[in-house]
Chain A
Amino acid sequence: MTSSGPALVEMTGVEKRFGTTRALRGVDLTLSAGECLGLVGRNGAGKSTLVSILSGLAEPDAGQVRFAGDPAPRVGDIARWREWIATVFQHSMIVGDLSVAENVFLGDMARVLSWRELRARTREIMSDWGFDIPAEARCRELSVEQLQIVEIARALARGAKCVLLDEPTAALEREAVRRLFERVRQLTAGGVAVLYISHHLEEVFEICQRVEVLRDGEMVLTAPLAELTRDDLIAAMVGSAQVRAATSSGLESPADQPRQRDQQRRPDDAAVLSVEDLTSDSAAGRLSGVSLQVRTGEIVGVTGLLSAGVATIGRTIAGAESRRGGEVRLRGALVPSGRRDIAERAGIGYIPEDRRTEGFVPHLGVAENTTMTIMDRLSDRFGLVRPGRRAAAAAPITARLSLVSSGPGQPVEELSGGNQQKVTVARTLAHEPALIVAITPTRGVDVASKALLLDSLADVARSRGAGVLLCSDELSDLVICDRVIVLVRGQVFAEFTEPPFDRDELIVATEGLSGSNLDAAYDTPPDDTPKEAAE
């Protein structure tokens, strides 16, 4: 922070609500010229809300944003916001069919007189900042890294004094990350302020001078990084007191189960699922050679950051999307790529990540949605299904999940989010699969329902011997797991085999850090040898 004059960007007491959720609670933030400030926080801490307020896309319910001491422009007056602060979003805002020059001046073309001038000014910006992308190139033909530079150039073309980088390295290779950091240093050396948002703590340590930590919508820590250790940062992000509170309010019963289960019976050696060298180019997170096994009655957790490929691995194994290479075998039999119907019949149940898009048919009833996977079994030899039979088949499953509805015929669209999620889980359980692939099965569900859903998954493994692959970035889901595999950038980075799992250790591993050496993750690329982080 500069002591002389007002800060370049200053946020004071900013509040934002969405319905009953308080996304931001009185957040303060200051950013000075030539500074790189890191902003970290777990998923749902309020980072995205903060970004949209700072980008002039959302209006705070209370509080103020000031640029160099003056009140910020009206929300929605994007052109004037951009003169102060420009955001490079996680998702590219580049028009692929236009040239680099046109994209750099997109939305600002009125001020440019001719094509020649457009290109000349683009070249000028590129050379001023040491970028090397031809102004005439079609953006469609550029790499992700080059597109990001175009976006940064666009910010600089408007004379923005502050650049907001939202998860800029999510889609970048390691070398590209290093080059990006050089550019960020150029920017700050040139007097531009940078707000750097990232899940990767090691990046924050490398590039930022100061860090602010958001937790549950509150700014819990602001300090120069020189005074902080990695553990301080993690403690601030996680909030250890709060973890204990959450555990005691309903998560306790599933948390105790893995140990009980070990005493009752050890997981059989027979592998239900074996995955060899799985690769995928999915936009949601690529996989580069993942191998894992799930044994009968075993619950294996897969966790990592959003972009690490956690959902992708679940979706490819369940056949919901195609894999590029590798083998998926269920009880030794090869499961074809991208064929959800065959995978379901083979015995792979699938609880999708987003219930609204894949979990249920909104206007059909609870019973019909629940029995959708077992229509073959319920129909007579002419293929006819009696509604009564359907309701009878659904009743025990929905009852076990304490699903609340006005009756088996109530359309699922009328249910609450938690009950909709129960329908999605019930649908999977109905088929009695040999393997359940569950992706973030408790997302957006209250604490009590969460415990119930996890309990039901644990019960399926315990009593019926089904294998469960639980893919979740929600660490509290992992309490039911016998093993947890941590993915970093699409590769197995660490494996934890001894429940209960240490929350902090898990978080450290998901950030791609191992041991106490911060640089380790960067110097040695993560390889397939597990357990290196299980200190």
Chain B
Amino acid sequence: MTSESTPDEPAGAALPASRSQPATLPLGGAVIASWLRSANVSVLREVALLPVLALLLIVGTVRSPVFLTVSNFSGIGEQSSALGVVVVGESLILMIGGMDLSLESTYGLAPMVAAWLIVPVAAYGNGLDLNPYLGILVLIAVGAAIGLLNGLLIVKGRLNGFIVTLGMTIVLAGLQNGIVKAQSLFNLPPAFGYLGSAQWGQVPVSLVVAVIIFAVVGLFLRYHRTGRAIYAVGGNPAAARAAGIKVDRLKIGVYVAGSVLAAIGGLMEAGRVSAVTGQQGYGEGIIFSVFAAAVIGGVSLKGGRGNMIGAASGVILLGLVQNILTLTNVSNYWIEAIDGGVILFALFLARVVGGESTAESA
């Protein structure tokens, strides 16, 4: 498993998939054929959440007249995209047998650092007045650096992933508030906020990008040798190592990829609310939603099992529940209890319908 394409660039590595399709036609054919062959087994597992989603659609339609409208769904998409991108990152880390709580702080800190370098001193910036495009590069670099640090501490330092990322969560959240003295940064340049706020017609750009990320990572996991190595390492690290897979390098790479995705999610959120606040990420406690979406979607906390279709349906489920609760004017006091109850119910149902969810055997 030498990887000229390291796992920290899943998007870039797997993009050529679509490009190569016209050239080598049999690939497309083989893909469809193998899909059909494994269909009767895996589809049932992958759509285990479908009954729950259908139920939610019915409940929403019955309870609220505005539920089944394009603008409402566009709103759900916009709100869920940022979370969804972080869920992709966390799913990758869970699949390789890791765990990263600090994604929520990366989700807040990375856009904060970028915005801090971009906005003028008057708006609590640091005075560098960085070009917003460079700012986005900084955001990605911050994500990559955090992921690298986590990966090195956990893999090379042989420290417990839970504790390392718990500590990291708090450190990063402190930095997020510290650099701007707990101020919120507004007046973000349009280029910086574009990803989170722009719309193509009725469709939010963030939703399109999130869907592309899900699809590309899903295909990468299914067909790329590094993606397959992620399943192998998550499923049995000792066996993967014995087969010559560079287990440590791959794990660190996945931590980097996960943190970069969390930073991109943070950029989407900053654009959507037109600000970077001290609360973004850690303050909101989004990591609970991230884990809930991944686990509801069948990503195993023990590693080696899960796929992007499942993770996406977990995100959609959480988005629908949130939306219906808001639309039906459920008292704020009760929202969390109902939210949690739905998560538990969905988990239970997914287990009953799908059995032990498995890695997709492509």
Contacts and interface: CB of A to CB of B under 8 A. Distances in A.
Given A344-B243, A357-B239, A411 B361 contact: yes
A375 B239 contact: no
Interface in A321-355: 340-341, 343-345, 350, 352
Contacts of A22: none
Nearest to B233: A361
B246 interface: yes
A363 interface: yes
Contacts of B359: 363-364
A347 to B, nearest CB: 11
A318 B243 CA distance: 11
B65 interface: no
B2 A372 contact: no
Contacts of B33: 388
B74 interface: no
A386 B241 contact: no
Given A388-B30, A427-B243, A361 B226 contact: no
B358 A383 contact: no
Given A341-B245, A379-B225, A363 B17 contact: no
B267 to A, nearest CB: 27
A320, A345, A362, A387 — which one has the most chain B CB atoms within 10 A of its CB? A387
Contacts of A320: 241-242
Nearest to A378: B225
A344 B361 contact: no
* Chain B, interface residues (CB within 8 Å), range: 35 or more
Contacts of A382: 5, 13-14, 16-17, 20, 224
Contacts of B4: 383
Interface string B343-362: 00000000000000011011
A386 B242 contact: no
Contacts, number: 116
B342 to A, nearest CB: 29
B362 A358 contact: no
Given A382-B16, A388-B34, A368 B241 contact: no
Contact of B238 (A318, A343, A357): A357
Contacts of B247: 341
A380 interface: yes
A427 B243 CA distance: 8
B17 A364 contact: no
B244 A361 contact: no
A373 interface: yes
A46 B13 CA distance: 55
A381 to B, nearest CB: 9
A496 interface: no
Interface in B194-227: 223-226
A360 B229 contact: no
Contacts of B251: none
Interface string B9-36: 0000110110010001001001101100
B69 interface: no
B40 interface: no
A359 interface: yes
A376 B2 CA distance: 7
Nearest to B248: A341
B225 A383 contact: yes
A409 interface: yes
Contacts of A409: 37-38, 361
B245 A372 contact: yes
B224 A372 contact: no
B224 A383 contact: yes
B233 to A, nearest CB: 9
A320 B359 CA distance: 27
B31 to A, nearest CB: 8
Contact of A387 (B225, B236, B243, B362): B362
Interface in B219-265: 223-226, 228-229, 231-232, 235-236, 238-247
Interface of A: 318, 320, 340-341, 343-345, 350, 352, 357-365, 368, 372-373, 375-376, 378-380, 382-388, 409, 411, 427, 431
7 contacts: A341-B246, A344-B243, A361-B232, A361-B239, A364-B232, A376-B225, A382-B5
Given A363-B358, A384-B20, 20 more contacts: A320-B241, A340-B242, A341-B246, A345-B2, A358-B242, A359-B239, A361-B240, A363-B361, A364-B235, A364-B361, A368-B361, A372-B232, A372-B245, A375-B225, A382-B5, A382-B17, A385-B228, A386-B31, A387-B362, A409-B361
Interface of B: 1-5, 13-14, 16-17, 20, 24, 27, 30-31, 33-34, 37-38, 223-226, 228-229, 231-232, 235-236, 238-247, 304-305, 358-359, 361-362
